[in-house]
Structure 1
Amino acid sequence: MFKHFLITRFNLRNPDWTTSKKNKSVLTEEWHENRFELFRDFCFESVAAQTNTNFEWLVYFDITTPEKFKTIIRTLQEKMDNFIPIFIDGMSLFLPSIKSYIEKCPEDYIITSRIDNDDCLGINYIKEIQSHFDKQDFLAVDFIDGYTLQIHPSIKLGKRLDQYNPFISLIEKNINPRTVWSIRHSHWKREKQVVQIKDKRLWASIIHQENKVNEFEGYGEVDLSRFFQNFVISTAWEKKIKENAIPQSKWKLQSTLNFMDSLWDYTFRNIKKAVGVYKIK
């Protein structure tokens, strides 16, 4: 009936991406060390813990990935059957490679979902995406509520409201499928066939020292015990977060401002789409 692909790009060389938000060079030995640590501690653990394993996780690595990290990749592959590393020559081959892989799929429908290599998913993410499948010819599924976790320089965990986010999925008929990576996640605001689903927190963005753009925009009080019932990360980081997370009561002003900003962005984007400011396809 359908085939579900979760798709991640990891370290693909891109002439437009040479530094982190602190102007540190990327794709260096240090960058790889830090990024693989984040990937193993947060992203991989959360995907491996999915309650529904009926999907393939395509993770795109550059052919120039150093051998020591290829060894790590092989180790992860042994731990998870549906973790499929794919090595390509730079960012320009990313979309063609996705289409080349998916075109071999015989199913009538395709679901493609995206996750960045430094973020994580709630255990029911795949299950919830698939629950919205109903033989749609073309429909983007956008769970707009999630969490955001800052792990550097201090630890904060907050709720997040973000439509057209980096965790969006696309259901489509398997006739020359576009896939969810065909446009930037923020550009789904220009698409007509998008359903926004509230009050199901299925994703968590991780804010760390190497983010190119993201900053902590969390708000509200989060019950850590309840959070870790739905999000699986490494044992070491779970312990560290439980012991060191700053209570929301100590960043209440930031929480309030972040909530107001998030609500304004959400409302303003929806107004702009409703009145036709965005060029809807």
Structure 2
Amino acid sequence: MIQQFLITRFDLNSKDWKLDKNYKQIDKTEWLVIRIQLFKKYCLPSVLNQKEKSFIWIIYFQVGYEYLTENLVQELSKYSFIKPIYKHDYEDFVATSPNDILKFISPETKNIITTRLDNDDMISPSFTSHVRRVTSRSIKKPFILDFPYGLCMQADPVVFTRYNHKLNQFISYIEPLDAVNKPKTVYAQQHNQWHNHAAVLEDPTPNLWVQVVHERNITNQLEGVLSYSTDIKGYPEQIVALPATYNLLIFAMKCKAAFPTIPGRYFLKRLKKSIGFG
């Protein structure tokens, strides 16, 4: 038997966590309020919408900020597969999270999957089922499962891109259980460093994840190739309210990039302005 765990570090501080991508000082209270909003809009619905629901989602919160997170934790308590856990900081999480995993492992479990998921990102409805399908064979040695071909989304205004990102923040670590040693879990290494520590299996299935880019990201920027709304099939419909208008805009933007002097640039400006792009 194999068990699957999604792991989200909701608000655990690391020692170098001081500035966002715009080099602005991070106000933890302000950051956390915004993150809760993003989580409810993007991440949580995408997990609740999974076709395969036989997994456990462990969400880690930081001690000392219960006055901001307790209402969210209370909301999450109605879902039996979601397990909120409080830690003192990121270092505490790294040291003790393998013990948390052990508490939820069934006696018949031989292998486990631990998958990273940031609190402001999304996974497609078939994400967890696809991970299970790929890892259903007998596992003798630990390995990383990587889906390099995903989507990047600018939140405001909404723009999607196809994004090729190897060893991204949606990787899974698959490992056989050891009667002597604790599980390592996917957080044993930084996601972009796992190729130095384990075999990596790349699966070319596209659009299984969406990295959401917004004003208060710590590091992420919009990257990739402009993408039409058909790529986000299965994700919440409200993300692109007017798909036809959005697709027309993306087509015009692609044309502009390919032919800088194309006639109709005035039309493109008016179209962008009419739907909030400037």
Q: Which residue of 2 aligns with 1:198?
A: 204
Gaps of 5+ in 2: 259-278
Identity over aligned residues, as a percent? 26
What is the distance in 1 between the residues matched to 2:120 and 2:244? 20
**Equivalent residues in 2 for 1:32-181, closer than 5 Å:** 32-78=32-78, 80-104=79-103, 105=105, 106=107, 107-133=109-135, 134-136=137-139, 137-152=141-156, 154-175=157-178, 176-181=182-187
CA distance 1:87–1:3, shift in 2 (3 Å): same
Alignment-mate amino acid for residue 210 of structure 2: A
User: Cα deviation per residue 1:146-195 (whole Å; 9 max; x = unaligned)?
Assistant: 1110013x321111111111000011101132111100110023245111
Alignment-mate amino acid for residue 146 of structure 2: D
What is the distance in 2 between the residues matched to 1:76 and 1:2? 25
Aligned residue pairs, count: 250
Q: Which residue of 2 aligns with 1:271?
A: none
CA-based RMSD: 2.3
Gaps of 5+ in 1: 257-281
CA distance 1:108–1:7, shift in 2 (3 Å): same
Alignment-mate amino acid for residue 153 of structure 2: L
Secondary structure in 1 matching 2:138: coil
What is the distance in 1 between the residues matched to 2:11 and 2:85? 11
Secondary structure in 2 matching 1:200: coil
User: Cα deviation per residue 1:186-229 (whole Å; 9 max; x = unaligned)?
Assistant: 0023245111011332000000001121111121432x2551x3
Is the CA contact (8 Å cut-off) linking 1:156 and 1:245 kept in structure 2? no
Q: Which residue of 2 aligns with 1:13?
A: 13
What is the distance in 2 between the residues matched to 1:70 and 1:242? 40
Q: Which residue of 1 aligns with 2:275?
A: none
What is the distance in 2 between the residues matched to 1:218 and 1:41? 23
- The TM-score with structure 2 as length reference comes to 0.82
Q: Which of 1 and 2 has greater Rg?
A: 2
- The TM-score with structure 1 as length reference comes to 0.81
Show structure 1 runs of 4+ deviating over 4 A.
240-246, 253-256
Is the CA contact (8 Å cut-off) linking 1:49 and 1:232 kept in structure 2? no
